[in-house]
Structure 1
């Protein structure tokens, strides 16, 4: 019932608007006059027209408001009115599409900038990795050169001599101690072929060794 009442009110409003905007029909005045002398009747027609003033119609001057809606309502069938009314305004669609295009362009620029930064960071990472590898190679080469130089130095020979002497001395004493702990005595098992004093006497002096090595280095080739 409420829907029917609303429809009736809408139709009544449309009729009132239609009647108020209807053009006035031109008025015609026909005058017939008869003349003497046996001439036929002469008719004269005078037409007075009232022209429609378009400036007084609100939906033409400014196409908005209830008047423009009523005008479009009369042009659209009832079954299609709700569908047409649900379609957004063309200007709003153009503004929305323009806004979306601007956003897509900004996103494309930002994406390209991100890719450029990523490529730059990757190139810098590769350069740093190459620098690290270079320093590693230089450190390894430096260590090898230092090791070779140390092995050929006098300090290394002196250190080796001292270590060897201490090793043989302590090692020989340790072997004798093991013999004695096991019940072997020097009287029962003499080892005359082992003479520590003779071995120490046969060792070259450090000064003689240095002089011989320096003489070999300074001697010119034959």
Structure 2
């Protein structure tokens, strides 16, 4: 009986051990399946991370290339602007120098023209003062002054009651006075006399106005 009871206990313990072993195996299988899934997810995540890294590296390389290109283009543009600015400064300096030269030349020409005008005016003035035209002008002015004074005297005589028709005054003969002028004024007096004779002839030959 004791052997049977012992055998029953052994079987019972073996059964429990087998159940525990089965449960452990089942947990192991589940754990391995979970491990396999985790390993697959890790591999997938690694692939995704590698792809993302490659994409990031490609983007970074593209950005680096774009920055290098933009930097080179900006450097080229700055160099072109620097060259253009330098050319503009050189042109400005050249234009300023040319302007200064033109101003100096214009000032020199203006001074020369001023001197020429001054000399021409002085020469013309001197030649005019020596010319017969100036002498005739002076003579005509003298005759005009003389005639004005003569006519003033005649007017005074008439105003004082000595009309020329009733009391002729031979000493107030204008033609005689012109003939008695100095020889320097002879030519001017002759011209004046000719003008008076022409006026007298014109008055004599002019048709009389019709009577009303």
TM-score by length of 2: 0.48
The structure whose residues are more often helix, as a share, is 2
Q: Which has the higher contact order (CA 8 A, sep 6+)?
A: 2
